[in-house]
Amino acid sequence: MQIKNEKVRYWLSLLSLGFMGGTIYILPYIRYVFYDQMIGTMQITNTQIGLLSTIYAVMVSLSAIPGAFMADKIDAKKTILVSIGGTTILAFIYAAFVNSYQVAIIIWALLGITTSTAYWPSLIKYINNLGSAESAGNSFGTYYLVNGFSGMLGNVLPLWASTHFGFRGAMICVGVITTVATILVLLFLESEAAKKARGEAMEGDDENIKISDVKYVLKWPGFYLFYILVIATYFLYANVSYFNPYLINVLGIDPDSSSGFAVVRTYGAMMLAPVGGIMADKVFKSTSKWFIVAFSILAVLFAGTFIFNSESNVIVVCIYSLLPSLVAMPLHSVTYSILREIHFHPALMGTAIGLTSVLPVTDGLVPPIFGRILDSYGNYGYKIIFMVLIGVCVVGVITSFLVRDHSRKCEEGKRVMKIE
């Protein structure tokens, strides 16, 4: 669909991407909301549900490098459309075989391809090119705001369907929602060919990227700082999901009620995503400064969980369990806006983003390890998990200070990323 007005084009593209972004990951991360329902339906253990995430992450890792180059070569709209369309098909297949753990293994492996490969670097590249460099934080914040709305909708409706039609009905509902997202992408995202026809182009489109150019990314000191921050921000955002089984097993609330809090914790918090953009662009005028503050606040909040036990007031703990998400989401939402402080060459942004998926630490190693901890130590395992999260916050603070030093050296001309 050709849209002539620049502002209308910008907002329709960003809103469509936000809605799609909130739905494409509902299925691979369905355990965030339906943790106990998945265990009950497929009759599996905490470790087995963690292994699904490992399988997913391994496939993400295997497709990361080819995906990074595809993102720099293939039309972003085509990549995103194939990704959300493929995920929709898998959602309906999983709904048909919802009781089978064996089928789930295959589905999660394929999800690692449809929701990864060139999808993520293409998405980041598309958003980074929607507005100016100064508005990058706000663009990502708005993206995650819409992302949160669609993610919440994409879980509230399945929760309703689950109570009336069971877990299978919930998964059919997920498929219907991702179908809507596919249509929005098809209608409102502009192809790179259309941009070029107006004399515009994605940053880096005029560069000839080769496999050998990976060496430039790997030699750049900022890449490793970027990689650590990607892991740290996502690690915290993803693992607040363990508050879901925590509320069930430690406090004894029913799974459906806990799932309701999980929806707010995982997707409702995304409504605060623009706060991350405001903090990074307006308040601190630096993503790294905002990171230092946010990581510090999160460390205190996770430490606060140690005062609770099975005798604690249920309402107080349930509300407290939402607080880390209210900080983790505005933190995670602007992770990729720090690319500009890292001073990457624009032509290698897609490659750099893709390479961060090569070692699937958060999704690949952590879920089965945390699952094993819970299977082995019971409720005490949650204290171990929260201690690990505090450690990640400390690493995040240190790395953010190093980014500030790196950015200063780049601005002074002491570090320059060149492509020969």
Interval 22-33 mean pLDDT: 88
* C-alpha span between 259 and 261 (Å, rounded): 5
Say if residue 58's pLDDT is above 50.
Answer: yes
Residue 134 — very low, low, confident or very high, per pLDDT cuts 50/70/90?
low
In the chain, % of residues over pLDDT 90? 36
Which stretch of DSSP H or E encloses residue 35? helix 31-42
Residues 363-377: what's their mean pLDDT?
A: 84
pLDDT band at 131 (very low <50, low <70, confident <90, very high): low
Question: Cα–Cα distance between 177 and 139 in angstroms, integer?
Answer: 24
Decide: helix, strand or coil at residue 268. helix
Residues 394-417: tens digit of each pLDDT: 999 999 999 999 999 988 888 877
Is the pLDDT higher at 24 or at 61?
24
CA angle 204, 206, 209 (to 5 degrees): 70
Domain ranges of the chain: 6-189+209-411
pTM of the model: 0.71
Say if residue 13's pLDDT is above 50. yes
Q: What is the pLDDT of residue 208?
A: 45
Nearest residue to 126 (alpha-carbon basis) of 283, 376, 353: 353
* pLDDT value, residue 320: 94
pLDDT of 148 > 80? The answer is no
Tokens representing 68 are 């990074």
Contact by Cβ (8 Å): 143, 14: yes
- Residue 44 and residue 368 in contact, taking contact as beta carbons nearer than 8 Å: no
Choices 1.10.630.10, 1.10.150.250, 1.20.1250.20, 3.40.50.740: CATH for 6-189+209-411? 1.20.1250.20
So what's the pLDDT on residue 202? 55
d(CA 367, CA 403): 28
Query: What's the confidence (pLDDT) of residue 206?
Result: 43
Q: pLDDT at position 210, please? A: 56
pLDDT at 161: 92
DSSP 8-class letter at 30: T
Residue with tokens 């598309």: 126
**CB-facing half-sphere around the CA of 255: CA atoms within 13 A:** 14
Please give the average per-residue pLDDT across 307-327, as a whole number.
90
Helices (H) and strands (E) in the chain, counts: 20, 0
**Whole-number Å distance between alpha carbons of 400 and 386:** 21
With 50 as the cut, is the pLDDT of residue 144 above it? yes
Q: For residues 345 and 78, which has the higher predicted lDDT (pLDDT)?
A: 78
